[in-house]
Amino acid sequence: MRVVIAEDNVLLASGLELLLNSQGFEVVAITDDAPGFLTAVETHRPDVTIVDVRLPPDFRDEGIRAALQARRDRPGLPVLVLSQYVEQEYAGRLLADPRGGIGYLLKDRVSRIAEFTDALRRVAAGGTAMDPEVIAQLLAGRNDPVGALTPREREVLALMAEGHDNTAIAQRLFITDNAVHKHIGGVFLKLGLSVGDSGHRRVRAVLTYLRRRGGAANPAPVEPSTDR
């Protein structure tokens, strides 16, 4: 699996390269700025990209804006944002893209190599991988359907966003599978995702609010869900 990395911290970039190469990935390019990233994507046509939010010269939002540009140039390009920061405006636009292949992890909260590489593979395959803290910051203080969720439903939604199935969610929250199913039903109901919706409602549940906030277009078809 071919990877392009946009990261200006030389030690972190080198560490990522060594880690990914040891895990069966092929790092084809490392860039330290947004123009270099866009050029590398066009040149190497990677299977997945890793992008920091803040890159030279201004260290503000150059990386995530470059990720949005890359996905406009190559629709559906898998992008995993790996950063210390949640850049809310652009993060919302990126995560609202219904085509999938999106991840947003916080550097300080990545604690296991296997979890990181699993997230990268999931993004490369068109799935989502989002840190619950990212979701919490994006949704904080907004007048939106997520505000109607109970604290437990928000916990379940955050774990759904990470890609966990019902059994894994039950184990992490120390509740039964039936309780998880009930909470997911509550999430679907409050976010307006009907029982008859044949789409992948686990993804739609995470993206519904973000689409409403960002004004994204109608969602593209997605995989069927077993949650009813």
190: confidence class by pLDDT, cuts 50, 70, 90: confident
* Residue that terminates a domain, selected from 92, 114, 132: 132
5 and 109 together in one domain: yes
Q: How high is the pLDDT of residue 12? A: 94
Supply the pLDDT for residue 7. Answer: 96
Segment 42-99, tens digit of pLDDT? 999 999 999 999 999 888 889 999 999 999 999 989 999 999 888 877 777 777 777 7
* Predicted confidence (pLDDT) at residue 224 exceeds the cutoff of 70: no
Tokens standing for 78? Answer: 């898998």
Confidence band of 227 (pLDDT split at 50, 70, 90): very low
33 and 120 housed in the same domain: yes
Looking up tokens 């990212």 gives: 134
Average pLDDT along the chain? 81
pLDDT of residue 161: 72
> CATH code at 73?
3.40.50.2300
The token pair at 169 is 């969610």
The pLDDT, as a whole number, for residue 119 is 92
- Give the CATH number for residue 204: 1.10.10.10
Report the alpha-carbon distance of residue 162 to residue 157 in Å, rounded.
9
Q: Are residues 111 and 147 in the same domain?
A: no
**Using one digit for the tens of pLDDT, what is the confidence trace for 78-93?**
999 999 888 877 777 7
Nearest partner of 49 among 91, 1, 88, 84, judged by Cα = 1
